[in-house]
Amino acid sequence: MFGISLDLFFYYSILCILIGCLYAYSLYKKGKGISSRRIFWILFLARSFLISILIFLLLSPIIKSTFYTVEKPIVIIGKDNSESIKDSISTDLKDLKESLIGFDVYTYSFSDNIYENLSDQNVGLKTNYSDFLLAIKSNFENKNVAGVVIASDGCYNTGQNPEFIKYDFPVYSIALGDTNIYKDIGVNNILSNDISFLGNTFPLEISITSNVFKSETARLTIWNEKVKVYEQVLAFLPEKDFEKIYVKLNSEKVGLNTYTVKIDALEGENNLQNNTYLVYVDVIDYKSNILIIKEDNHPDIAAYKSVLDKNKNYKVDVRNVDDDFNVENYQLVVLFGVEKTPQYLMSSTVPLIIFNANQSHYRDFGSLVAFSIRSGYDDLLAARNNEFQKFTFSQGLLEFIKLAPPLKRVFGVFSLDKQVEVVLKKKKGENISNNPIIMIQEINGRKVSFVPTEGWWRWRLYDYSINQSHDSFDELFSKLSQYLVLEDTKDLFRVSYKRQYDESSDIIINAELYNESYELINDKEIELIISDINGVEYVFQFSKSEEKYLVNAGQMDVGSYNFMAKVEGTSLNSQGSFDIRKIQLEQLSLVANHNLLKKIASISGGKVFYQDNIKLLLKELNNSASNKNIIHVKEKQQNLINISWILLVLLLIISLEWFMRKYHGLI
């Protein structure tokens, strides 16, 4: 549909025609040189039309056009292609797609990633419903989506719980897998330290799931390479399907250690893949001297020192602030209750922990922390800052922090720069504020931790009262001290990488190259050689990214690898090793979870079908209230003077008039 709109009244259009006619009449009224009346009218009409249109275009007329488009209903088919899917469903889904006449059908496969089209291979290492469903919401927002079909067993192991997603479309599930419950025991997860010092112990928190029909026993063993380092007989009961085992192991071998946690299979157990779990711990040989400087005695000193004394790699000295010593002989200095900062500490680069930190300490070390003192003292309950990632917290430590007694601090208001990382925050009820209890900042390359609170000795006593050990208290300050005491390399060539990669992750290695003035440069080529345990080498070249270097070696097979990075034209090189660990999430449970599929269908307004009644799903989609075309009306406005063919017509008219006038000798 077309129409013309004018900002002026319609009679202005009539006026344009009159002006055009008057102009043409005045030009040709005497008719000199015109041989016939017919030629006169042709010239008159041509000039009238030309002038009228030109004046009309000056009025800025707008042409309106209306377009109608029909949007078909959309059906999206998603196939779970993770390892836990054993059913062959691709052919049925392709038939369903071809049978959906009158629909626009899009097909995807998903597991830990999302792919277009239907994959016949079920090789995904994880199942993530939320990423797939949220991607559909984003890509088809405001589209005519009649429904989303998911073919899956209902077992997801990563991402958001799909029950808490807000759906804009009905989800129809094709339930796959076996819902029968079989006898099974397995290692569900293991929490451990990434790093341990040689000669120390480190904890493993082993989560074990079970499904047994009578009381049974099985042997749990832990192996470091081919050496058995732990053994325990576990009892499994029908009424108990989950338990945690806490184990402490000795760090006896330097390097990246692979520990295999294994539970012997029960008689008649089908799923044996979840009976074995691999854990990786990097053991380093590093001896450190730690100096505690105090002004007065305080029970917090003894509480903190008890943590360090358990670490064989630490030699701890306690000195008064007025004693004579060389602070540069230590790898970590801890201040307790020292009001005035000694000058030798301000000029040093040794990492610091400052207990009872106050405004003068922040000012002396050039910190980005500001503190305004108010009157009185403040009692503070603690909570972990979830954004802090310098070291991890075990579940036991997190539970302990929730229950721990309040700490004390001078009442006041903090102002923090974003470079200050808060470890623990103040908690009041369910609200967690930005008020810091422990914080870390790197100041001119020096790591400093400020602890403006006291009363930590109460935490240590409380830990023992509820756990009969000091493990949780020790973990907090052991990890804080370990982070500060580990030195950053000062080499001219530095390579950073993970000691462990998942088998589905790309192997990404970064490098930095410095000149003699420790300025970043990238004017040289760097070669990377990765070799597996069989001696097979893979050669890569670092690419330059701004002032740094990067290699993405892609995905590699599960196993151990060594590497060497060499800077061409120099003697600089860096060696290291890493492990690629197998992802075992899809083997943890082989029992289909159709209840989840039913909940998703109920929430979204869909239904659950089975592989043998896909025809009912087709009928449901065809009869759905969402199966309707949507007509979109689009109105387009365009200035008439911008239409090229109108200008072309005017050019032809004026050319015709000029030719006739020339031919008849009028010009």
User: pLDDT tens across 303-349, in order?
Assistant: 999 999 888 888 899 999 888 888 888 989 999 988 888 888 888 88
DSSP letter assigned to residue 646: H
User: pLDDT tens across 550-581, in order?
Assistant: 999 988 888 889 999 999 988 899 988 888 87
Q: How confident is the model at residue 9 (pLDDT cuts 50, 70, 90)?
A: low
pLDDT of residue 130: 83
Q: How far apart are CA 548 and CA 509, in angstroms?
A: 11
Q: How far apart are CA 621 and CA 624, in angstroms?
A: 5
CB 332 within 8 A of CB 290: yes
Residue 75 three-state SS:
strand
Q: How far apart are CA 485 and CA 351, in angstroms?
A: 7
pLDDT of residue 355: 92
User: pLDDT tens across 433-492, in order?
Assistant: 888 889 999 888 889 999 989 999 999 999 999 989 999 999 999 989 988 887 665 678
Per cent of the chain over pLDDT 90 is 20
**Arithmetic mean of pLDDT, 636-646:** 76
C-alpha dihedral (319, 325, 328, 330), degrees to nearest 10: -30
Q: How confident is the model at residue 531 (pLDDT cuts 50, 70, 90)?
A: very high
Tokens describing residue 192:
């451990």
pLDDT at 528 over 90: yes
**Arithmetic mean of pLDDT, 603-614:** 89
| Lowest-pLDDT range of 67-76, 594-603, 627-636 | 627-636
pLDDT of residue 228: 93
**Arithmetic mean of pLDDT, 171-196:** 81
pLDDT at 267 over 60: yes
Which residues, in sequence order, are bridge partners of residue 292?
Answer: 318, 334
pLDDT at 527 over 90: yes
User: pLDDT tens across 281-314, in order?
Assistant: 888 777 789 999 998 888 999 999 999 988 888 8
Q: How far apart are CA 373 and CA 362, in angstroms?
A: 13
pLDDT of residue 488: 61
Q: How far apart are CA 79 and CA 115, in angstroms?
A: 10
pLDDT at 1 over 60: no
Output the CA–CA distances (angstroms, integers) from residue 373 to 340, 362, 378, 415, 435, in the order listed. 17, 13, 11, 12, 13
| Lateral strand order in the sheet of 201-211 | 184-192, 201-211, 242-250
pLDDT of residue 235: 92
Q: Tell which residue, 634, 646, 656, 608, has the closest CA to residue 154.
A: 608
User: pLDDT tens across 14-47, in order?
Assistant: 888 888 888 887 877 765 656 677 777 887 888 8
User: pLDDT tens across 387-415, in order?
Assistant: 887 887 888 899 999 999 999 988 888 88
H or E element that contains 522: none
Cβ atoms < 10 Å from Cβ of 328: 10
User: pLDDT tens across 86-107, in order?
Assistant: 778 888 889 889 998 889 999 9
pLDDT at 514 over 60: yes
Q: How far apart are CA 133 and CA 170, in angstroms?
A: 11
Residue 121 three-state SS:
coil
CB 419 within 8 A of CB 325: no
pLDDT of residue 252: 86
CB-facing half-sphere around the CA of 537: CA atoms within 13 A = 8
Which residues, in sequence order, are bridge partners of residue 5?
Answer: 62
Q: Tell which residue, 369, 362, 327, 313, has the closest CA to residue 341.
A: 362
DSSP letter assigned to residue 107: E
**Arithmetic mean of pLDDT, 119-138:** 81
pLDDT of residue 327: 87
CB 592 within 8 A of CB 179: yes
CB 570 within 8 A of CB 597: no
CB 248 within 8 A of CB 202: yes
| Lowest-pLDDT range of 8-12, 60-64, 215-219, 420-424 | 8-12
Residues sharing a CB contact under 8 Å with residue 647, sequence separation 6 or more, in sequence order? 641
**Arithmetic mean of pLDDT, 118-122:** 80
Look up tokens 């008439």; give the residue.
Answer: 640
CB 70 within 8 A of CB 95: no
Q: How confident is the model at residue 509 (pLDDT cuts 50, 70, 90)?
A: very high
CB 333 within 8 A of CB 352: yes
Look up tokens 């590093």; give the residue.
Answer: 286
One-character DSSP codes across 410-471: EEEEEEE-TTSEEEEEEEETTEEEEEEEEEEEEETTEEEEEE--B-HHHHHHHHHHHHSS-H
When the pLDDT of each residue in the chain is averaged and rounded to a whole number, the result is 84
pLDDT at 357 over 80: yes
Q: How confident is the model at residue 544 (pLDDT cuts 50, 70, 90)?
A: confident
Q: How far apart are CA 64 and CA 73, in angstroms?
A: 29
Q: Treating both helix axes as pointing N-terminal to C-terminal, what angle do 471-485 and 395-403 enclose, rounded to 10 degrees?
A: 110
Question: Phi-psi bin for 226: left (phi > 0), alpha (psi -120 to 50), beta?
Answer: alpha
